[in-house]
């Protein structure tokens, strides 16, 4: 018997429910404790079955919280519209509650863990009244894999349950591993919109329940997450940024591995040799696109392993092995089209949840950049009528798709390899209109860590704030590092010592440099395969370089430009290393480092001094 066969609240349903879930005492005790605090009407132990997902989907459609898309165009696919005040990560409401403030560091919001716990107890008291509480067991990475980790998310959002079912390996098998004694991380989420108010009155349900007061709280010492008030993406799918980066980065520091905001790909050369590459770019700066790249150069193949997060550990042979801990893609919709990312477009053929995109009259979805021709009539992401003259985007700039990784037509056969894949090269990038060349190779691991630590990037719509503003985003981890950023750099320096000769080569890339007229100098997307070819050439020990103060740049002719229409002037600008601007960057880097005091690794200070010296003498 499954939960759906019986009426809720009956004796039969209680019996059915007690047959579900887990016998693990610690997990049961935690669920009881949270239920006592949040006071839901009922508790559902999720099993991750298709049946369960179908029921939840039907329920959400019936409640008007999901719109079923026309199955003729988009089978088993749905549109969710969030509250317009709940559309992105909220960095100023994200807290790292380590015991000591210095351990959170100057780039995180720190709060005393004891005070925060007290505050959260008030906030969560009765927060699930009138709602169902779901217990969602999940594995990050293949079940039982040596790099994988388990977690449980308690949530009162069925949208979160469905999304977690796509984004993680969610289901019963995780309970069995927990019962066998595997460690697991506690994550708690409430949309913060109880259906019964403080004095016991019923409150009307809304399409997207959320709360203007939000808390995204990580307790790194006890490896716990408490999230309140948002139903959106990285705020609510706690396995993703909160666990797989903020908490996992702390676990990685303590246990000698790396938890990174990186895509993973396999590249195969015309000669049939395969390489694995990891790349860190800030939010909405091209990870999904590079992960699904289709090379424009003949004979090359790129296959997808992950598009957002990589967990990496030294393997028995001393090399660095990586897994994609996720099982799906939560990708940026705008800008995803046939010409830019045909692979993503094909991945989204069905079984997809779209959030905050526009709706076509024929019951399919649309967003800016999906097609060259703009539909004459749409319903915009807020549910309002829209025409091309409306003067506002039809889809929210941070609208997203949620889809299983296995649906990607170019998913790599080793994407869910139990032991991960060996990494040959690591790329760091950002969105920089000026200064940073298309590609530069680090002279050493330490120089590579310096490149990662000093990345700045223009802000995007993925988080609340001013789009376009330049900010430091070291390793693309600024919003995601669960501890002191300078200690994190130190951890990277240390990992270089552990890996020694086996350490992957490190590169810096920038697809976003602009000319004087404000347009991109480099065509990007599939043409980025030319840069990958050069990087593979370097890994193989070939491809000529020019030594510059900032690193090794491709020598003339060593970057494959066959068949590409690009002017010599654009190329010169793409690779220009302007001495004065870089000296100015050095000053800014020194200022930036200063806030971390003596926690900045000596190796990075030495790299800065060396960069300055070479610029001054160039
Ligand atoms: P998160 O999911 O937020 O971590 O983002 P992401 O890093 O996966 O970014 P994504 O690949 O979704 O790209 C974000 C935006 O950058 C999209 O609008 C893309 O069209 C655009 N973009 C990606 N690659 C390129 C490129 O090579 N050149 C240019 N000009 N734009 C690009
Ligand atoms: C990002 O912002 O880097 C994302 C989307 O990948 S979210 O899951 O909201 O963090
Ligand atoms: Mn991301």
Angle between helices 602-616 and 485-499 (to 10 degrees): 90
Contacts of 407 (CB under 8 A, 6+ apart): 347, 349, 351
**CA 167 to centroid of ligand 3, rounded, Å:** 13
Is residue 263 within a helix (H) or strand (E), and if so which, with residue range? strand 262-268
281 CB within 6 A, ligand 2: no
Residue to substitute in 285, 329, 398 for testing ligand 1 pocket (most ligand atoms within 8 angstroms of CB):
285
Name the residue among 544, 521, 505 with its Cα closest to residue 437. Answer: 521
- Write out the residues surrounding ion ligand 3, Cβ under 5 A: 283, 308
Q: What is the length of the chain?
A: 618
| pLDDT for 198 | 82
Atom 1 in ligand 2: residue holding the nearest Cα = 283
Question: Residue 123: which of 197, 190, 208, 196 has the closest Cα?
Answer: 190
Which residue's C-alpha comes closest to atom 9 of ligand 2? Answer: 234
Binding site membership for GTP: which residues? Answer: 284-289, 400, 431, 525-528
pLDDT tens digits, one per residue of 509-528: 999 999 999 999 999 999 99
| Binding residue positions for substrate | 89, 232-234, 283, 398-400
Nearest residue (by CA) to ligand 1, atom 23, is: 286
Tell me if 521 sits within 8 A of 515, measured CB to CB. yes
Report how far residue 348's alpha carbon sits from residue 553's, in angstroms, rounded to the nearest whole number.
37
> What is residue 8's DSSP assignment?
T
Return the active site residues: 285
> Do the strands 505-509 and 425-429 form a parallel or antiparallel pair, or are they unpaired?
parallel
Q: Distance from the CA of 277 to the center of ligand 1, in angstroms? A: 17
Greatest CA span in the chain, whole angstroms?
Answer: 82
SS3 string, 162-200, reads HHHHHHCEECHHHHHHHHCCCCEEEEEEECCCCCECCCC
Long-range interactions of 535-544: CB distance < 8 A, separation 24+: 535/277, 535/425, 535/427, 535/439, 535/441, 535/505, 535/507, 536/267, 536/269, 536/275, 536/424, 536/425, 538/425, 538/441, 538/505, 538/507, 539/275, 539/424, 539/425, 539/505, 540/273
Q: Give the SS3 label for residue 87.
A: coil
Does any ligand 2 atom lie closer than 6 A to the CB of residue 233? yes
What is this structure's pTM?
0.96
The 3-state DSSP class for residue 4 equals: helix
Residues 6+ away with beta carbon under 8 Å from 585: 435, 454
Contacts of 130 (CB under 8 A, 6+ apart): 41, 194, 195, 196, 202, 203
Q: Is the CB of 327 under 6 A from ligand 2?
A: no
**Closest ligand, as measured to the CA of 240:** 2
283 lines ligand 2 (CB under 6 A): yes
| Separation of alpha carbons 279 and 390, rounded Å | 38
Any ligand 2 atom below 6 A from CB of 513: no
Give dist(CA 355, CA 333) in Å, integer: 9
Lining ligand 1 with CB less than 6 A are: 281, 283-289, 307-308, 331-332, 334-335, 340, 462, 511-512, 520, 524-525, 528
The CA distance from 574 to 1, in Å, is 64
Q: Which ligand approaches the C-alpha of residue 291 most closely?
A: 1
Helix (H), strand (E) counts: the chain: 17, 32
Structure confidence at residue 618 (pLDDT): 87
Give pLDDT < 50 ranges for the chain: 1-18
**β-strands 378-379, 456-458: how paired?**
unpaired
User: Which positions ≥6 away from 345 have C-beta within 8 Å?
Assistant: 336, 337, 338, 370
Close Cβ partners of 268 (under 8 Å, ≥ 6 residues apart): 274, 275, 300, 301, 302, 303
Select from 82, 88, 330 the residue to mutate for testing ligand 2; criterion: most ligand atoms less than 8 Å from CB: 330
Other Cβ atoms closer than 10 A to 616: 11
CA of 288 to the centre of ligand 2 (A): 11
Establish whether residue 459 lines the binding site of ligand 2, counting it when its CB lies within 6 angstroms of any ligand atom: no
The whole-angstrom separation of Cα 325 and Cα 41 is 33
The ligand 1 atom nearest the CA atom of 334: 18
Question: What are the E-state strand segments in 405-496?
Answer: 421-422, 425-429, 439-441, 456-458, 470-472
Q: Whose Cα sits closest to atom 4 in ligand 2?
A: 283
């Amino acid at each position: 018997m499954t939960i759906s066969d019986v009426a809720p609240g009956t004796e039969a349903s209680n019996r059915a429910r007690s047959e579900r879930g887990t016998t693990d005492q610690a997990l049961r005790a935690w669920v009881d404790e949270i239920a006592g605090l949040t006071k839901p009407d009922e508790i559902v132990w999720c099993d991750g079955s298709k049946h369960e997902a179908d029921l939840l989907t039907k329920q959400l459609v019936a409640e008007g919280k999901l719109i079923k898309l026309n199955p003729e165009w988009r089978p088993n696919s749905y549109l969710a519209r969030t509250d317009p005040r709940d559309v992105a990560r909220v960095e100023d409401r994200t807290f790292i509650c380590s015991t000591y403030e210095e351990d959170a560091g100057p780039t995180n919001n720190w709060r005393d863990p004891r005070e925060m716990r007290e505050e959260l107890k008030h906030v969560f008291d009765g927060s699930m009244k009138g709602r169902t509480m779901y217990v969602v067991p999940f594995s990050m990475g293949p079940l039982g894999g040596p790099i994988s980790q388990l977690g449980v998310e308690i949530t009162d959002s069925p949208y979160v349950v469905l999304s977690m079912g796509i984004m993680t390996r969610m289901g019963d098998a995780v309970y069995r591993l927990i019962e066998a004694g595997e460690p697991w991380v506690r994550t708690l989420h409430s949309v913060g919109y109880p259906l019964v108010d403080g004095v016991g009155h019923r409150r009307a349900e809304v399409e997207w329940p959320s709360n203007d007061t939000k808390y995204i709280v990580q307790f790194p010492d006890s490896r716990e997450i408490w999230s309140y008030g948002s139903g959106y993406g990285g705020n609510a799918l706690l396995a993703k940024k909160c666990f797989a980066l903020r908490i996992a980065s702390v676990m990685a520091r303590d246990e000698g591995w790396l938890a990174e905001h990186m895509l993973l790909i396999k590249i195969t050369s015309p000669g049939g040799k395969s390489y694995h590459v990891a790349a860190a770019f800030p939010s909405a700066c091209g990870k999904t696109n590079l992960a699904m790249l289709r090379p424009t150069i003949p004979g090359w193949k790129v296959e997808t392993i992950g598009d957002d997060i990589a967990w990496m550990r030294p393997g028995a042979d001393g090399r660095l092995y990586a897994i994609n801990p996720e099982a799906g893609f939560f990708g940026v919709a705008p800008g995803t089209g046939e010409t830019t990312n045909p692979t993503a477009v094909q991945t989204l053929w069905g079984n997809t949840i779209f959030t905050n995109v526009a709706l076509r009259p024929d019951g399919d979805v649309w967003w800016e950049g999906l097609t060259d021709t703009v539909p004459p009539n749409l319903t915009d992401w807020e549910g309002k009528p829209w025409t091309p003259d409306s003067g506002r985007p039809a889809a929210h700039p941070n609208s997203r798709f949620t889809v299983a990784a296995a649906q990607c037509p170019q998913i790599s056969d080793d994407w869910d390899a139990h032991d991960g894949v060996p990494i040959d090269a690591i790329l760091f990038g950002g969105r920089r209109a000026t200064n940073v060349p298309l590609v530069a190779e680090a002279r050493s691991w330490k120089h590579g860590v310096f490149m990662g630590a000093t990345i700045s990037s223009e802000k995007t719509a993925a988080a609340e704030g001013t789009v376009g503003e330049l900010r430091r985003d070291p390793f693309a981890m600024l919003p995601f590092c669960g501890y002191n950023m300078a200690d994190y750099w130190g951890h990277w320096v240390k990992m270089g010592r552990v890996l020694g000769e086996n350490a992957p080569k490190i590169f810096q890339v920038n697809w976003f440099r602009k000319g004087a007229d404000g347009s991109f100098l480099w065509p990007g997307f599939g043409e980025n395969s030319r840069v990958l070819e050069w990087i593979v050439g370097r890994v193989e020990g070939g491809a000529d370089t020019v030594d510059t103060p900032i690193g090794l740049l491709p020598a003339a002719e060593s970057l494959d430009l066959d068949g590409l229409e690009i002017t010599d002037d654009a190329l010169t600008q793409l690779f220009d290393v302007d001495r004065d601007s870089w000296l100015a960057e050095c000053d800014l880097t020194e200022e930036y480092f200063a806030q971390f005091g003596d926690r900045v690794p000596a190796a990075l200070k030495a790299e800065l001094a060396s960069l300055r010296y070479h610029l001054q003498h160039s």
